Structure 1
Amino acid sequence: MKVPEHVAIIMDGNGRWAKQRGLNRVEGHKVGAKVAEDVSKWCADLGIKYLTLYAFSTENWKRPEEEIKFLFRLMVEYLGERLEMLLKESVKLRFMGRVEELNEETKQFCRQIEEKTAECNRLNLIVALNYGGRAEIVDAVNKIINEKLVNIDENTIRKHLYLPNVPDPDLIIRTSGEKRLSNFLLWQSSYSELYFTEVLWPDFSRENFIEALEEYSRRKRRYGAVIDNEK
């Protein structure tokens, strides 16, 4: 099986999962956090070097205030409790998005856990937090304007993205049956393979993940070129 270098996931369906069971939406987020932890372990074991998880988008601020507070509290507590595990498994944790707009406690947490895991190199775990693909491009353009650069090309823009040294995702997975990117990695996804599954995120299993990787492995990535020996 051909394993991608970078997998990105839109973790969708926590709320629907909880509703189907007569539970509060936050219960779906709790189970979803455990699945995210499991996926990171699977990636490390399989030799996948980068995993990007879409945790909170710039559009998610439209959700109920209590749910938003819970999501950030869950992230801080969950990752904080697993710092030793991250270090033991050599997982480098990074955040991408408008993190500077978050409250002081969350910003400090993000900075501290990034610093503590900076030397880890088995898996790069990237959490897209207060992230939007359009916002990232706008922020990149504003950086370029502030630097008074001229003769702008694709490489110039790439260098001003949130994490310019991270390779583009080879595979983007979205759970819950929705078939759109929802403002996720718009610049970086130009030639990513897309995989959609009906499975809700809290039900996403290792078998589901392997199925996505096997589908990716069967695809021919042309990057706009014609392959001479294709039938």
Structure 2
Amino acid sequence: MIRSLYERYLLGQVNNAPEQIPEHITMILPESDLLDAQGKEKFREVMDWCLKLGITTISIYVDVLDTKEEFRKQMVSTLTTGLMDILGSFPEEVGFFIYDQKGDLKKERKGNSLTVHLSIGFGGRAEITKSIRSILSEVKDGKIAPEDIDEKVIESHLLVREEPDMIIRSGGNHLSDFLLWQSAYSELYFTDVNWHDLRKIDLLRIIRDFQKRQRRFGK
């Protein structure tokens, strides 16, 4: 009863400033948090909470351990299939882009309410490297002149082009190799709450904290 009342109180506070609710949030998760049924169900719940809060973009990085290649491939395949099924079960207003460990697009669906970028084991350094190779290929083909390469050109070749307002690290205290270019001015939030234990109250607290911050965008 008390928890329900507190959740309603937090929701009221968050909704009092809807213009300050982050449009794009990023979540960093280890693969171990998503391998079991409980982790996958939590994934579904969090996506639903974000949809109802009016968040328009979620980018999720599943940090896959650097283990034997055969086991790694099997793990990525299992995660991709399971999370793909969950996202596909949402209404068509929810769009998604799912990338594998090489940055190849495995499946996509356009949506008009919430867009989810899901990267499984493909980090920021690899993303930037891939974008540079793509730009160099266009230079070689004469599609772009070297002197025309600027920040906008680089950004146009990244997998995720939207800059996250907030990056949430669950159960950890350090960032991961994800959206290195895009997150230059993102707000960071570290929580000791593990993914399995994350509640809607915790997410509301995170958003309320974001609303109280004064963003400087590097200034």
Sort the TM-score into its range (normalised by shorter chain).
0.7 to 0.9
Could you say which residue in structure 2 is the equivalent of 1:228? none
The Cα of 1:61 is off from its aligned counterpart by 4.1
**Preserved contact between residue 66 and residue 72 of structure 2 (Cα < 8 Å):** no
CA distance 1:179–1:123, shift in 2 (3 Å): same
> Residues 90 and 122 of structure 1 are in contact (CA less than 8 Å); yes or no, is this contact kept in structure 2?
yes
Does 1:31 find its partner at 2:38? yes
Q: What letter matches 1:73 in structure 2?
A: T
Identity level (%) = 31
Q: Distance in 2 between matches of 1:13 and 1:99?
A: 17
Separation in 2, partners of 1:81, 1:191: 31
1:132, 1:51 → 2: CA distance? 16
Equivalent-residue separation in structure 2 for 1:36 and 1:145 (angstroms): 37
Task: Give the AA of the match of 1:136.
Answer: E
Give deviations 1:109-143, integer Å, cap 9, x for gaps. Answer: x33xx1xx32x211101101231100011111111
State the distance in 1 between where 2:38 and 2:168 align.
Answer: 18
Taking the aligned partners of 2:214 and 2:160, their CA distance within structure 1 comes to: 27
The number of equivalent residue pairs is: 194
Which one of 156, 160, 169 corresponds to residue 174 of structure 1? 169
Show structure 2 runs of 5+ residues with no match. 1-13, 15-19, 140-144
For the structure 1 residues 162 and 191, does the alpha-carbon distance in structure 2 shift closer, same or farther, using more than 3 Å as the test?
same
For the aligned residue pairs, the C-alpha RMSD in angstroms reads: 2.4
Q: Match of 2:150?
A: 153
Q: 1:8 aligns with which of 10, 26, 33?
A: 26
CA displacement at 1:71 relative to structure 2 = 5.1
Give the distance between the partners of 1:224 and 1:70, measured in 2 at CA: 38
> SS state of the match for residue 136, structure 1?
helix
TM-score w.r.t. the length of structure 1 is 0.74
Partner of 1:45: 52
- For 1:94 and 1:36, locate their aligned partners in 2 and report how far apart those are by CA, in whole Å: 16
TM, length-normalised to structure 2: 0.78
- Report what 1:163 is aligned to: 160
Deviation at 1:11, TM superposition (A): 1.9
Moved over 6 A (4+): none
Give the partner amino acid of 1:142. R
* Structure 1 unmatched runs, 5+: 16-24, 101-106, 226-231
Could you tell me which amino acid in structure 1 is paired with residue 166 of structure 2?
A: L
**Cα offset, 1:81, TM superposition:** 6.0
Higher relative contact order (CA 8 A, sep 6+): 1
Shifted more, 152-161 versus 192-201: the winner is: 152-161
